[in-house]
């Protein structure tokens, strides 16, 4: 029986992954103007979706040879590592993007937002488990009108270990007072899928252009639980709910 649905945020409810990719790309171009293509960095970001901020920055710095240029900005930001300087430049760009509510509204995923609202309508418990930090999460939820859509919200600030560690999903389940096996996780990345599975939960992956290839290549889930066509998400939920003897969305 599915008693709770736990959603990821970035890439699942809102296309912030695209905005993050663009912010890393524009920061890379600032560091090496004329030598780095914004399009190439956005494409490379697909390989690091769901990883920690440090892992993303270090990977992109190595791939596009940004370390020397980033080192030159360490004193400006008062940091001790080149990757931190790269992240600070990227954060400045990303904050400017998030400052425009229209940008966030234009980048929401309507089908998963509708699924969240339907879950609330059917009195299913709902949770959010995101690797974004609390301030960003609060702003995005407020702009999308989802501040009261969750029974419990957990962000990167609340856990010691990020996804793919299951800590954040187990925390949300405990706060919802629902057993892990009675939870359905809605994710978009392989990192998030691994976290949900490691927590002993049922998982459906809703792919995006940034995660589709890795989700199918790594084969963490059966193909019918990887949703490439958003119109088929209820079919995947029905499959899981039916196999457990209960259709959550009925």
The candidate with the shortest Cα–Cα distance to 81, out of 59, 48, 54, is 54
The CA distance from 219 to 120, in Å, is: 30
Rg (alpha carbons) of the chain, rounded to whole number: 18
Whether 207 contacts 227, CB under 8 Å? yes
User: Which DSSP category does 10 fall into?
Assistant: B
Once rounded to an integer, what is the mean pLDDT over residues 37-47?
94
Residue 84 in tokens = 């931190």
Higher pLDDT: 249 or 139? It is 139
Residue 232 in tokens = 């088929």
Residue 123 in tokens = 């009195």
Q: Where are the alpha helices (DSSP H) in 32-125?
A: 38-45, 53-64, 67-71, 74-77, 82-98, 101-106, 110-121
In this predicted structure, what is the pLDDT of residue 49?
A: 81
Residue 1 has pLDDT above 60, yes or no: yes
The candidate with the shortest Cα–Cα distance to 233, out of 137, 140, 113, is 113
The candidate with the shortest Cα–Cα distance to 54, out of 19, 16, 80, 93, is 80
For strands 152-154 and 183-187, give the pairing. unpaired
Digit-coded pLDDT (tens) for 75-105: 999 999 999 999 999 999 998 998 899 999 9
Whether 69 contacts 76, CB under 8 Å? no
Q: How confident is the model at residue 242 (pLDDT cuts 50, 70, 90)?
A: low
């Amino acid at each position: 029986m599915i008693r709770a649905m736990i959603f990821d945020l970035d890439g699942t409810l809102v296309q912030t992954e695209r905005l993050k990719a663009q912010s890393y790309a524009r920061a890379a171009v600032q560091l090496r103007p004329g030598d780095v293509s914004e399009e190439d960095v956005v494409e490379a970001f697909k390989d690091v979706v769901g990883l920690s901020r440090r892992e993303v920055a270090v990977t992109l710095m190595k791939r596009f040879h940004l370390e020397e240029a980033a080192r030159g900005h360490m004193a400006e930001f008062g940091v001790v590592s080149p990757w931190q300087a790269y992240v600070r430049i990227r954060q400045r760009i990303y904050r400017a993007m998030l400052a425009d509510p229209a940008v966030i509204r234009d980048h929401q995923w309507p089908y998963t937002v509708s699924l969240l609202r339907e879950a609330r309508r059917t009195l299913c418990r709902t949770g959010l488990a995101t690797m974004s930090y609390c301030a960003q999460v609060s702003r995005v939820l407020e702009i999308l009108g989802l501040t009261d859509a969750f029974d419990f919200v957990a962000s990167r600030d609340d856990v010691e270990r990020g996804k793919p560690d299951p800590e954040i999903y187990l925390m949300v389940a405990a706060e919802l007072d629902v057993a892990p096996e009675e939870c359905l996780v809605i994710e978009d990345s392989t990192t998030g899928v691994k976290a949900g599975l490691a927590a002993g939960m049922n998982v459906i992956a809703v792919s995006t252009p940034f995660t589709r290839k890795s989700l199918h290549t790594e084969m963490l889930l059966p193909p019918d639980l990887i949703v490439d066509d958003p119109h088929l998400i209820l079919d995947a939920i029905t499959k899981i709910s039916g196999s457990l003897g209960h259709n959550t969305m009925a």
